[in-house]
Amino acid sequence: MKIDFVSDIACPWCAVGLYSLEQALQRIGTELAVELHFQPFELNPTMPAEGEDAMAHLALKYGATPEQLAQVRRSLIERGAAVGFTFGERARVWNTFDAHRLMHWAKEHGRARELKHTLLCAYHTLGENTADSAILLRCAGEAGLDTAMAREVIDSGRYADEVRQSEAHFQRLGIRAVPSVLIDDRHLIQGGQPPEVFEQALRKIAGQDETQARSGGLSPGK
């Protein structure tokens, strides 16, 4: 089973969704062979390098009052804690394009999942600027990646075209919000769902595909 996890590290529900999905996969264990791929999505592609005040940005974007934003924040903290993710104080919203470029490079070295975790922690737990090359380099090192190579990727602007192409691909598929979990290119689960929802959906899809394969609807292995 191929799973494309389409997300942006600026999205707090993407942190909840990823940790929930991972718990679901742990529960399923070896019953299901899974390839997990991380795909880029930018909530704020025009965000300046200096970022914006988080409360002002969210209030303007969603038309929410401070009380409503506080309630959402409490819900996020609770949902995050339930799946093992810690939300800290975050004063600003940051640009994430360079983080996506670094993620693309990490995929080539088999460390995308590790880097995703360190980036989410930097952004949402520590409230750090993920547009800052020093923060990105530290995250790369914590993910087990070569920091000298990471610096070259960051400074050179490599993988910009690849990230844009990937973003455009998933937008053409109709993905307009994250997290979006696309399974085998045809089953879509959206939002930061609880682990049991992901587990149930994955088991159901796997069962349907197995039934179709046995009846000749799908070729074995597809």
Angle at 41 between CA 58 and CA 38, to 5 degrees: 130
What count of Cα atoms within 13 Å lies in the side-chain half-sphere of residue 41?
23
Token code pair at residue 81:
């804690």
Task: Report the CATH number of the 2-215 domain.
Answer: 3.40.30.10
- Across the chain, mean pLDDT equals 94
What are the beta bridge partners of residue 190?
Answer: 180
The sign of the CA dihedral 23, 72, 8, 173 is positive
pTM attached to this predicted model: 0.93
Predicted pLDDT at 208: 82
Mean pLDDT per 10-residue run, the chain (222 residues)?
98 98 97 96 94 95 94 97 97 97 98 98 98 98 98 98 98 96 96 97 88 55 37
pLDDT in tens, 12-64: 999 999 999 999 999 999 999 999 999 999 999 999 989 999 999 999 999 99
Domain coordinates of the chain in residue numbers? 2-215
Which DSSP letter does residue 9 get?
T
Predicted pLDDT at 52: 97
